[in-house]
Structure 1
Amino acid sequence: MLQSLYDFWIAAAGSTPLEWVAVLTGVACVWLAARESLWNFPVAIVSCGLYIIVYHGARLYSDRNLQVVFILMSLYGWYEWLYGGARNTELKVSRTRPVEWVLLLIGVVLFTLGFGYYLQHYTDDSLPHWDSLTTAISLAAQYLMMRKRLENWWLWILVDALYVPILWHKELYPTSGLYAVYLVLATYGYLAWRRAEAKAAYAANESLTTS
């Protein structure tokens, strides 16, 4: 056990400064999202830009490409949170509709099988299907976050639990630790958003009662 911890700290200390900056901005991004702060989007863009370089070096090409998509989705999500509500107002926390779950499930399965096949046969990706699965779930979670759906945190918890051992296996120890922190932050985010949703529902009921 002590030897494992020693090996971890030696490897972590040898990680590039770029990866450490990506880790710190990644933590800040998720914490800000959990607080429903719009600042999560510009911080996410910075973090994703850094991880394009980190994941390329680790030969995790699906996750590298995912960062580009995340940047585009963050720009769109930024707009949605500001103007995606009723009459172009601020978007409120809501629940995922059944049809969204069905479409997301189909999308995750098709993406995992299709892109996993491509990575396995046409690239030197070291974990093609796991890489594709985590990418697919992350895209689904990011979509739900853009729409401020409460259940986006369920998917982040799932994908974070998968990323921890995958990134450890790839010797990206600081980033593996980052996803362990993400697990805690995603749980906090879910609880915070659930309280926000309950508060909004109570305010809406009060408004109907008094009108």
Structure 2
Amino acid sequence: MSVFQTVYDAHLTIAGHDISWREIIGNAFGFASAIGGLKRRVWAWPVGIVGNVLLFTVFIGTAVNGEAVPLLGQAGRQIFFIAVSIYGWQRWQQAKREHAGTEQAAVSPRWATGRERAAYLGAAAVGVVVLFFAFQAIGTLFPVPTWYFLADSWIFVGSILATYAMARGWVDFWLCWIAVDLVGVPELIYFKLYPSAALYGVYGVLVIYGFFAWRRIAREEPLADPQTEMVGA
């Protein structure tokens, strides 16, 4: 067995369940990234990318090692997370350079405008419908219930939407995460991915706190220019 295979297969057994170390460590990076986002720190983005890479190998399932039914939406969103995270990382770094020497955090929160909100909700609706049929077509190869395709479609679209909204500094992104968690936790429990399900539960508490924190900041730190969302730290 190669070193790569040994590392890939490493797992922890808890209450008779084998839990991949990739899942545990990937979720730890994800949680650290969420804390960084709450604190509005630039390092949240690269830390999150590491977690995305690890979790992709967990969720892709059978496509990698014949482990289990692959969670297509969960796996696919890790790829898009990486792409959107690079975008967010660049935006926050740019703002950091523009505000060098200040004590401002990495983002000045604001609510999305009515036009922006209509655009992202419309895009989300279309995305869920398209992915539902796409996942359903691919999923004929795997023994999964029909609800899985709709759930995974929303998890995929909602997660990308939330990450993009975070990059833009919209308070709305916390609400997107709450909606994703409400679907993601039951799905992960169903597929026995308990560390990820537990982390989603913790995320639920964190995002509720984060929502109220960002909403307060948006009220107390009004932007001089609504188009200028980012400040660096």
TM range (shorter): 0.7 to 0.9
With over 3 angstroms needed to count, the CA separation of the structure-2 counterparts of 1:198 and 1:17, relative to structure 1, is same
Match of 2:135 among 111, 119, 123: 119
Give the aligned partner of residue 61 of structure 1: 72
**Aligned-pair CA distance for 1:84:** 5.2
Find the aligned partners of 1:132 and 1:173 in 2 and give their Cα distance: 20
Tell whether the 8 Å contact from 2:162 to 2:176 is kept in structure 1 after alignment.
yes
1:38 partner SS: coil
Give the aligned partner of residue 22 of structure 1: 26
Find the aligned partners of 2:214 and 2:88 in 1 and give their Cα distance: 16
Q: Aligned partner of 2:74: which letter? A: D
Q: Aligned partner of 1:73: which letter? A: V
Give the aligned partner of residue 46 of structure 2: 42
Tell whether the 8 Å contact from 2:177 to 2:207 is kept in structure 1 after alignment.
yes
Q: Aligned partner of 1:83: which letter? A: Q
**Aligned-pair CA distance for 1:160:** 0.9
1:15 partner SS: strand
Tell whether the 8 Å contact from 1:32 to 1:40 is kept in structure 2 after alignment.
yes
Normalising by structure 2, we get a TM-score of 0.77
Give the aligned partner of residue 185 of structure 2: 164
Tell whether the 8 Å contact from 1:93 to 1:197 is kept in structure 2 after alignment.
yes
**Aligned-pair CA distance for 1:141:** 1.1
Find the aligned partners of 1:166 and 1:33 in 2 and give their Cα distance: 25
Q: Aligned partner of 2:57: which letter? A: I
**Aligned-pair CA distance for 1:18:** 0.9
Tell whether the 8 Å contact from 1:112 to 1:129 is kept in structure 2 after alignment.
yes
Q: Aligned partner of 1:118: which letter? A: A
Find the aligned partners of 1:183 and 1:109 in 2 and give their Cα distance: 23
Match of 2:92 among 76, 81, 85: 81
Find the aligned partners of 2:16 and 2:33 in 1 and give their Cα distance: 25
The aligned runs of 1:187-202 (5 Å cut-off) are 187-201=208-222
Match of 1:99 among 115, 128, 133: 115
Tell whether the 8 Å contact from 1:112 to 1:133 is kept in structure 2 after alignment.
yes
Find the aligned partners of 1:61 and 1:20 in 2 and give their Cα distance: 19
Tell whether the 8 Å contact from 1:11 to 1:173 is kept in structure 2 after alignment.
no
**Aligned-pair CA distance for 1:91:** 4.3
More divergent stretch after superposition (168-177 vs 88-97): 88-97
Find the aligned partners of 1:136 and 1:26 in 2 and give their Cα distance: 18
Q: Please, which runs of 5 or more residues in structure 2 have no aligned partner?
A: 1-12, 62-68, 100-105, 225-233
Q: Please, which runs of 5 or more residues in structure 1 have no aligned partner?
A: 1-7, 205-211
**Aligned-pair CA distance for 1:163:** 0.6
Q: Percent identity?
A: 28
Greater fraction helix = 1
**Aligned-pair CA distance for 1:80:** 1.2
Tell whether the 8 Å contact from 2:185 to 2:200 is kept in structure 1 after alignment.
yes
Match of 2:154 among 133, 141, 144: 133
Tell whether the 8 Å contact from 1:80 to 1:91 is kept in structure 2 after alignment.
no
Find the aligned partners of 1:16 and 1:99 in 2 and give their Cα distance: 43
Tell whether the 8 Å contact from 2:40 to 2:107 is kept in structure 1 after alignment.
no
Give the aligned partner of residue 109 of structure 1: 125
Give the aligned partner of residue 10 of structure 1: 15
Find the aligned partners of 1:157 and 1:79 in 2 and give their Cα distance: 25
Give the aligned partner of residue 3 of structure 1: none
Normalising by structure 1, we get a TM-score of 0.84
- Are positions 1:71 and 2:82 aligned together? yes
